């Protein structure tokens, strides 16, 4: 299995090389050269398997000979052992033919744990074998950072630096990043928004002197392994509702487009998915683009679903790559135009995107009303991101096809918004009960590439 860049000008890499490299050296994102297929029989055979067994079968063809069957199986087992639910990703029914896929039973209470727990183990295994160490730099709007820190804290071969937007994450998210005491963890509060953090991260990858000197690695969804791990729960949930004999649709609260892109990959592998619905908050570049074809950056507005306060959706590049028939030059040109503010998607490419994706948007008031309604009618407490999903799903669902909405975070990560909407303040699980008492360790940094690079170089030298 080989991986190629969406910009077409970087070397082809194996799974392990792509995982350890992060961004391609031409600025693009790695994708598999070919998408492995699962037949109807392969999909039907997932019924009744544990999450871990399904994960092995779905991901194995993408991994090639980077890991043996035995070590890959052991890694998967270790990755999900700490989850607080036996099913790992349980489905609960919200309404007739509308289901919620609970993805928040991992150690940091968000869907990011599904991928991050796995790649923590994959990195550790690969780096030990190679005798290498890396510097991970991640950008977060709140959940990727806490999941990455949890997965990599205390590992000998890794320093992890997380850039988060100062004042724009919830208190629980911030404390999850600033309270771990391990010396290899560095939380950096950036004077900017998430798009600034992600842009500086990509600048670091494109600054080869720095990249090579610190042996930079990435665990954002820039990293293909992140996307791959998220493909699994599309299969496990669809199969539990009758796939491959019954089609299902998914609605996905969307920011950086990694999670819904994983659903698209599941569909391309053969999973019978009818619609993939992009649900955005008021930062709605993706909804505007799917509606009009114009992908143009707007200002980022702070919302009650802060993890989706994103206007430049990194993984959309991967979807565009397919929509433009895998023409790396065309994608390079579009990304240059994005640097100047935005671009128009061609009619043909837009049509191809619309063959798979629908989109919708939830305002702040609609999000609060959805949390209140779900609490009242179903007794279900939704986090604001999941509520954005439920609101948009209700508008898009076809009564004949089961709709699965991804519940991407635990409500206790956003207690203020949830209490405001529902009157109920969700509590953290017992193991995190002292989070508010733990000492915080964080460095405030400017939104400036040179300052960030100097800080990182100094820290890893000390």
Ligand X SMILES: Cc1ncc(COP(=O)(O)O)c(C=O)c1O
Smallest gap from Cβ 104 to ligand X, in A, equals 8
Distance CA 384, CA 439 (A): 27
Residue indicated by tokens 């996905």: 252
Smallest gap from Cβ 410 to ligand X, in A, equals 9
Nearer to ligand LJ64HWYM, 18 or 373 (CB): 18
Residue 408, contacted partner among ligand LJ64HWYM, ligand X, none, CB below 5-8 A by kind: ligand X
Residue 266, contacted partner among ligand LJ64HWYM, ligand X, none, CB below 5-8 A by kind: none
Residue 385, contacted partner among ligand LJ64HWYM, ligand X, none, CB below 5-8 A by kind: ligand X
How many residues bind ligand X, per CB under 6 A?
15
Nearer to ligand LJ64HWYM, 240 or 254 (CB): 254
In this chain, which of 180, 192, 244, 258 binds ligand X, going by CB under 6 A?
258
Told to check if 367 binds ligand LJ64HWYM by CB under 6 A, we report no
Told to check if 143 binds ligand X by CB under 6 A, we report yes
In this chain, which of 117, 141, 193, 386 binds ligand LJ64HWYM, going by CB under 6 A?
141
Smallest gap from Cβ 198 to ligand LJ64HWYM, in A, equals 7
Residue indicated by tokens 């998607």: 345
Distance CA 47, CA 146 (A): 32
- Pairing, β 342-344 against β 294-296: antiparallel
In this chain, which of 20, 110, 115, 345 binds ligand X, going by CB under 6 A?
110
- The active-site residue, picked from 112, 202, 391, 413, is 112
Told to check if 270 binds ligand X by CB under 6 A, we report no
- For 41-76, give one letter per residue: b (16+ CB within 10 A) or e: ebbeebeeeebbbbbbbbbeebbeebbeeeebbebb
Residues 6+ apart with CB under 8 A from 194: 139, 140, 141, 164, 165, 168, 300, 309, 310
Residues 335 and 317: beta-carbon distance below 8 Å? yes
Active site residue 112: yes
Smallest gap from Cβ 296 to ligand X, in A, equals 19
In this chain, which of 142, 263, 342, 360 binds ligand LJ64HWYM, going by CB under 6 A?
142
Smallest gap from Cβ 11 to ligand LJ64HWYM, in A, equals 23
Nearer to ligand X, 123 or 257 (CB): 257
Distance CA 202, CA 211 (A): 10
Told to check if 6 binds ligand X by CB under 6 A, we report no
Told to check if 144 binds ligand LJ64HWYM by CB under 6 A, we report yes
Contact set for ligand LJ64HWYM, span 243-262 (CB under 6 A): 255-256, 258
Smallest gap from Cβ 221 to ligand X, in A, equals 6
Residue 257, contacted partner among ligand LJ64HWYM, ligand X, none, CB below 5-8 A by kind: ligand X
Residues 336 and 309: beta-carbon distance below 8 Å? no
In this chain, which of 408, 412, 432, 452 binds ligand X, going by CB under 6 A?
408
Told to check if 259 binds ligand X by CB under 6 A, we report yes
Query: Which residue ranges make up the site for ligand X (CB under 6 A)?
Result: 110, 143, 221, 253-259, 307-308, 385, 408-409
- Catalytic residue annotation: 112
């Amino acid at each position: 299995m080989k991986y190629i860049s969406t910009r077409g000008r970087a070397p082809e890499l194996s799974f392990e090389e792509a995982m350890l490299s992060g961004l391609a050296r031409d600025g693009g994102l790695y994708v598999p050269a070919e998408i492995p297929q699962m037949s109807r029989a392969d999909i039907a055979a997932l019924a009744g398997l544990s999450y871990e067994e399904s994960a092995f079968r779905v991901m194995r063809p993408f991994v090639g000979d980077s890991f043996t069957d035995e070590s890959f199986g052991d890694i998967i087992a270790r990755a999900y052992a700490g989850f607080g639910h036996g099913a790992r990703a349980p489905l609960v029914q919200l309404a007739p033919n509308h289901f919620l896929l609970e993805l928040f039973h991992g150690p940091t209470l968000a869907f990011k744990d599904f991928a991050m727990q796995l790649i923590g183990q994959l990195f550790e295994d690969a780096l030990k074998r190679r005798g290498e160490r890396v510097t991970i730099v991640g950008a977060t709007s709140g959940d990727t950072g806490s999941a990455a820190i949890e997965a990599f804290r205390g590992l000998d071969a890794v320093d992890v630096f997380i850039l988060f937007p100062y004042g724009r994450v919830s208190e629980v998210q911030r404390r999850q990043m600033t309270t771990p005491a391990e010396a290899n963890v560095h939380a950096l509060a950036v004077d900017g928004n998430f798009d600034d953090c992600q842009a500086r991260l990509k600048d670091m990858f494109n600054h080869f002197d720095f990249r090579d000197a610190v042996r930079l690695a990435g665990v954002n969804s820039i990293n293909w392994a992140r996307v791959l791990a998220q493909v699994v729960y599309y299969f496990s949930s669809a199969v539990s509702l009758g796939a491959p004999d019954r089609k299902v649709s998914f609605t996905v609260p969307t920011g950086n487009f990694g999670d819904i892109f994983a659903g698209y990959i599941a569909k391309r592998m053969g999973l019978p998915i009818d619609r993939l619905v992009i649900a955005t908050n008021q930062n709605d570049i993706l909804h505007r683009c799917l509606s009009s074809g114009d992908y143009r950056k707007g200002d980022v507005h702070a919302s009650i679903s802060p993890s989706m306060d994103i206007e430049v959706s990194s993984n959309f590049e991967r979807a565009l790559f397919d929509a433009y028939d895998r023409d790396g030059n065309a994608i390079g040109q579009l990304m240059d135009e994005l640097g100047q503010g935005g671009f128009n998607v061609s009619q043909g490419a837009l049509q191809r995107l619309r063959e798979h994706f629908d989109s919708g948007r939830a305002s702040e008031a609609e999000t609060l009303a959805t949390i209140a309604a779900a609490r009242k009618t179903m007794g279900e407490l939704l986090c604001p991101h999941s509520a954005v999903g439920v609101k948009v799903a209700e508008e898009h669902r076809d009564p004949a096809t089961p709709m699965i909405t991804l519940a991407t975070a635990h409500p206790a990560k956003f207690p203020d918004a949830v209490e405001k909407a529902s009157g109920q303040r969700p509590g953290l699980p017992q193991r995190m009960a002292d989070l508010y008492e733990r000492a915080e360790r964080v460095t405030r940094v400017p939104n400036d590439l040179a300052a960030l690079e100097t800080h990182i170089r100094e820290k890893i030298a000390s």
